[in-house]
Amino acid sequence: MPHAHTVKLGTKLSLSKLDPARDDGLTKEEAKEKTNHLAKEIEELQELMYAANSTALLCVFQGADTSGKDGAINKVLEYVNVQSCRVASFKIPTAEELAHDFLWRIHKQTPALGGVTVFNRSHYEDVLVVRVHSLAPKHVWEKRYEQINEFEQALAESGTVILKFFLHISKKEQEQRLLAREKDPIKAWKLSVNDWKERERWGDYTAAYEDALSKCSTPWAPWHVVPSDHKWFRDLCVAESIAHALRPFREQWASRLETIGSKARAELAAYRKSGGS
């Protein structure tokens, strides 16, 4: 039974029924040991994926301020080869971005075959912050759920494995993290008055997330709700989901590498036979 909750398409999600402080009875040490084990597996799988050059991995991270998007992403970067991995962060759209359809800036950042891209926020902001703050009329953002599903389906059919993580923290935990951030000279730069203002809209964001996750958790791009009050449990959930998603490809990638290797060997043999070194 996986630790993260995978949302079922079309079923009404109720985030208040999912405990953000869940730890499944594991201690911090036990969870870290499991995560390290999975990290080794992911490292190996990612190397195969890179060499086979037939599949890409896209990990999307969403969650409230302080939910741990940066921390979780840093952790994922530890598992993969930096040469084939990129992070794309999506902030308030620029004038040029706003002059295009909402997926324009997103599509440009999707991973090429063999690569890994991690999204820090994403196209989901266009049905979250945009909905909560009425930055676009309802008839515009309402259509986006379907547009997102079709966009993600096109990516998946072109070889991209898509995993989406909602980092689920409690309102109380967020308050503690915001207050701790204020006291920490190293982390205070991350503070923004906006974090406290957005917090006042907690209920609206929860409703927007529940809709986005229910409407857009497809078989080709599932949403995972990650209990994130404990950072070590969060990291375990994410690592487990990535390993689980890549594992079924192992044979396919290995046999592709075998084919590519045989071809290279045959070419080399022919070259030598013709008098080359």
Question: Of these, 32, 86, 121, 199, which contacts ligand AMP (CB under 6 A)?
Answer: 121
Question: Of these, 130, 155, 167, 245, which contacts ligand AMP (CB under 6 A)?
Answer: 130
Q: How far apart are CA 266 and CA 268, in angstroms?
A: 5
Q: In whole angstroms, what separates CA 110 from the centre of its chain?
A: 12
DSSP 8-state class, residue 218: B
Does the footprint of ligand AMP cover residue 125 (CB under 6 A)?
Answer: yes
Does the footprint of ligand AMP cover residue 90 (CB under 6 A)?
Answer: yes
> Strand 116-120 relative to strand 56-63: parallel, antiparallel, unpaired?
parallel
DSSP 233-264: HHHHHHHHHHHHHHGGGHHHHHHHHHHHHHHH
Q: Which is nearer to Mg ion, 196 or 271 (CB)?
A: 196
Q: Which is nearer to ligand AMP, 51 or 135 (CB)?
A: 135
Q: Which is nearer to ligand AMP, 34 or 121 (CB)?
A: 121
Q: Which is nearer to Mg ion, 15 or 129 (CB)?
A: 129
Return the H-helix or E-strand segment holding 153: helix 144-157
- Which of the choices ligand AMP, Mg ion, none does residue 91 contact, using the CB cut-off of 5 to 8 A by kind? ligand AMP
Q: How many CB atoms lie within 10 A of CB 16?
A: 8
Does the footprint of ligand AMP cover residue 92 (CB under 6 A)?
Answer: yes
Residues that bind ligand AMP (CB under 6 A): 65, 90-93, 121, 125-126, 129-130, 135
